[in-house]
Amino acid sequence: MQTLISLIAGLIFGYGLVLSGMSNPAKVMNFLDLTGSFDPSLIFVMLGAVVTTFIGYRLVWRMERPFISGELQNTLKSQIDGRLIVGPILFGVGWGLVGLCPGPALASLTFGGLSALIFFVALIIGMLVSKLIVRFI
């Protein structure tokens, strides 16, 4: 059951990425290009996603527990450490270079051709390497 719900959630998530235009790297790069061919569309993606999640989470947190299994994740860490500085800076450089973050990297695999595949393989290698690095910090 959990597997089926995850599949449906993934389909909805990916559909949202494609509909919103986030799966098009050119659109993402234009959003980031404030002084050039600026396209503010992605502000609306963020707005729609954050407001929906903000309201939805608060409704869900009124339940005792999730309707399938597990516990409701709602503990917040507040510590800002070196990892939370280095990680987002590196991620931002990669995102700015190509215009793909992890969700769109997946959603574009079936229509992005060889370039989408190359990016995806590099992304996975980056994840594996950093997991090794993180073990030794």
Question: Hey, which residues between 11 and 40 contact other proteins (CB under 8 A)?
Answer: 11-27, 29-30, 32-37, 39-40
Nearest Cα neighbor of 39 from 24, 17, 18 is 24
Residue 64 binds other proteins, judged by CB under 8 A: no
Residue 62 binds other proteins, judged by CB under 8 A: no
Pick out residues in 39-58 that bind other proteins (CB under 8 A).
39-42, 44-54, 56-57
Residue 127 binds other proteins, judged by CB under 8 A: yes
Please name the residues in contact with 105: beta carbons below 8 A apart, sequence gap of 6 or more.
116, 119, 120, 123
Tokens of 85: 């500085």
Tokens of 66: 């999730």
Pick out residues in 82-111 that bind other proteins (CB under 8 A).
83-103, 105-111
